[in-house]
Amino acid sequence: MKLFKSKVAVGVMAVSMAATIGTAYAAVNPNAGAQLQQWYTSASNATKAIIAGDFAAVYAGKKEELENSVEGLKNGARVSIAATGRAEVARVNTSVNGQLATYSGQIDTANGTITSGIAAEYDQLVAATNATTNGQVNAIGTVSKAGIASAIRNHEGVYSGRLSDAAAATTTQAKSDLSAKIAATKAELNRLLALEKETATTEINSNLTTKIAELKAELVALTARLKKEAEDRILAQGAALEAAALNELATIVNDITKN
């Protein structure tokens, strides 16, 4: 303020000297009002020049201060957004990996249960089938033996002379028939066992493949959804921070004329 008053005084003194010199050459009866207006105009112009010079320096300083403040706000926003993004990436990765471990554990548990019980399951199937088959074969043998015995008894008197040959032939045929019957029965049962084995194996493997595919699809969808939600939150936060920063900058600019 003292510097400003000194500059004004110097300006006024310069104007006064110019007016004095001008008066020496003025008419004998000068116009006092015109002289005062001339002096005031010169003094006012000098004062305005001083004010403009001082304000230019203040304005440059304030502008630099504002620009530094704006840069600080932008850098702070960038650091905050980057930290949020990194934190969200770490959190999402931890969540997805944790859920994957949970699902994998459930699959391993179920697979262990199935694997540990499948042998016993088919041992029971084989035992039951063999028991049924053996019962059927024994029943066939009983019937066949009874038939043979009955035929022999009925025809014993007729074929007493040819007992050895007839008995041998009949026994051989009966044994052949019985063996063929047993072989056919076992072949059919083996076919059924092979078919059931193939069908059961296919169904178990298909179910495992389907479940794993469904789990993979679910994990892919979960990852995509969580990633999008995280990115949306980061974008929303960035927009909010940007709006707040711009609002603060606008407030600072609007306050320039208040001080």
Most trustworthy range by pLDDT among 82-86, 106-110, 207-211: 207-211
% pLDDT > 70, the chain = 81
User: Residues 219, 99: contact at Cβ < 8 Å?
Assistant: yes
pTM: 0.33
Tens digit of pLDDT for each residue in 220-239?
A: 888 888 888 888 888 888 88
Tens digit of pLDDT for each residue in 118-143?
A: 788 788 878 888 888 888 877 777 87
Query: Which of these, 97, 77, 73, 75, lies nearest to 85 by C-alpha position?
Result: 77
Mean pLDDT of the chain: 79
The answer on pLDDT for 47 being more than 70 is: yes
Distances (CA, A) of 109 to 66, 105, 116, 252: 64, 6, 11, 64
Of 110 and 19, which is predicted with more confidence?
A: 110
Domain ranges of the chain: 41-95+177-258
Q: What is the rounded end-to-end Cα distance, in angstroms, of the chain?
A: 16
The answer on pLDDT for 158 being more than 80 is: no
User: Residues 140, 180: contact at Cβ < 8 Å?
Assistant: no
What average pLDDT does range 96-117 have in this prediction? 84
Q: What is the pLDDT of residue 137?
A: 77
Query: Which of these, 102, 107, 99, lies nearest to 211 by C-alpha position?
Result: 107
What average pLDDT does range 21-45 have in this prediction? 76
User: Residues 205, 156: contact at Cβ < 8 Å?
Assistant: no
